[in-house]
Structure 1
Amino acid sequence: MAHVTFQQEYMQIPPITRAYTTACFFTTVAVQLEVISPFQIYYNPDLIFKQYQVWRLVTNFLFFGVFGFNFLFNMIFLYRYCRMLEEGSFRGRTGDFVFMFLLGGTVMCVVGLFVNLVFLGQAFTIMLVYIWSRRNPYIRMSFFGILTFHAPYLPWVLIGFSVMLGNPIIVDVIGIGCGHVYYFLEDVFPEQNGGFKIVHTPRILKYLFDPAPDSDDYVVLPEAERPGGFAWGQGENENPPQEPVAPDDNAQ
Structure 2
Amino acid sequence: MAGQGLAAGFLQVPAVTRAYTAACVLTTAAVQLELLSPFQLYFNPHLVFRKFQVWRLITTFLFFGPLGFGFFFNMLFVFRYCRMLEEGSFRGRKADFVFMFLFGGVLMTLLGFLGSLFFLGQALMAMLVYVWSRRSPHVRVNFFGLLNFQAPFLPWALMGFSMLLGNSVLTDLLGIIVGHIYYFLEDVFPNQPGGKRLLLTPNFLKLLLDDPQEDPNYLPLPEEQPEP
TM-score (normalised: structure 1): 0.82
Aligned position for 1:180: 180
Aligned position for 2:122: 122
RMSD between aligned alpha carbons?
1.3
When Rg is computed on C-alpha atoms for both structures, the one with the higher figure is: 2
CA contact (8 A) 2:131 2:183 kept: yes
CA displacement at 1:7 relative to structure 2: 2.7
Runs of 4+ in 1 over 4 A off after TM superposition: none
Letter in 2 for 1:139: V
Aligned position for 1:142: 142
Aligned position for 2:133: 133
Q: Counterparts in 2 of 1:1-40, with a 5 A limit?
A: 5-40=5-40
Letter in 2 for 1:47: L
Matching of residue 59 in structure 1 with residue 62 in structure 2: no
Letter in 2 for 1:50: R
Whole-angstrom distance in 2 between the partners of 1:36 and 1:10: 25
Identify, as 1 or 2, the structure richer in helix.
2
CA contact (8 A) 2:189 2:195 kept: yes
Whole-angstrom distance in 2 between the partners of 1:92 and 1:196: 22
Aligned position for 1:72: 72
Render the CA deviation track for 1:138-165: whole Å, top value 9, x for unaligned.
Answer: 0001112121110001001111212333
Higher relative contact order (CA 8 A, sep 6+): 1
Aligned position for 1:163: 163
Of all paired residues, the percent bearing the same amino acid is 59
Whole-angstrom distance in 2 between the partners of 1:130 and 1:158: 10
Whole-angstrom distance in 2 between the partners of 1:24 and 1:210: 24
CA displacement at 1:166 relative to structure 2: 3.2
CA displacement at 1:102 relative to structure 2: 0.4
Aligned position for 1:239: none
CA displacement at 1:41 relative to structure 2: 1.1
Letter in 1 for 2:87: E
Whole-angstrom distance in 2 between the partners of 1:107 and 1:167: 21
Whole-angstrom distance in 1 between the partners of 2:165 and 2:122: 15
Render the CA deviation track for 1:34-75: whole Å, top value 9, x for unaligned.
Answer: 011111111101100111111100011000011001100000
TM-score (normalised: structure 2): 0.90
Q: Counterparts in 2 of 1:215-226, with a 5 A limit?
A: none
Aligned position for 1:219: none
Letter in 2 for 1:160: G
Aligned position for 1:192: 192
What SS does the corresponding residue of 2:114 show, helix, strand or coil? Answer: coil
Aligned position for 1:48: 48
Render the CA deviation track for 1:116-154: whole Å, top value 9, x for unaligned.
Answer: 111100000000000000000000011121211100010
CA contact (8 A) 2:112 2:174 kept: no
What SS does the corresponding residue of 1:5 show, helix, strand or coil? Answer: helix
Aligned position for 1:100: 100
Whole-angstrom distance in 2 between the partners of 1:83 and 1:89: 10
Gaps of 5+ in 1: 215-252
| Bigger Cα displacement from structure 2, 84-93 vs 6-15 | 6-15
Whole-angstrom distance in 2 between the partners of 1:61 and 1:160: 21
What SS does the corresponding residue of 1:184 show, helix, strand or coil? Answer: helix
CA displacement at 1:211 relative to structure 2: 1.6
CA contact (8 A) 2:61 2:124 kept: yes
Aligned position for 2:221: none
What SS does the corresponding residue of 1:170 show, helix, strand or coil? Answer: helix
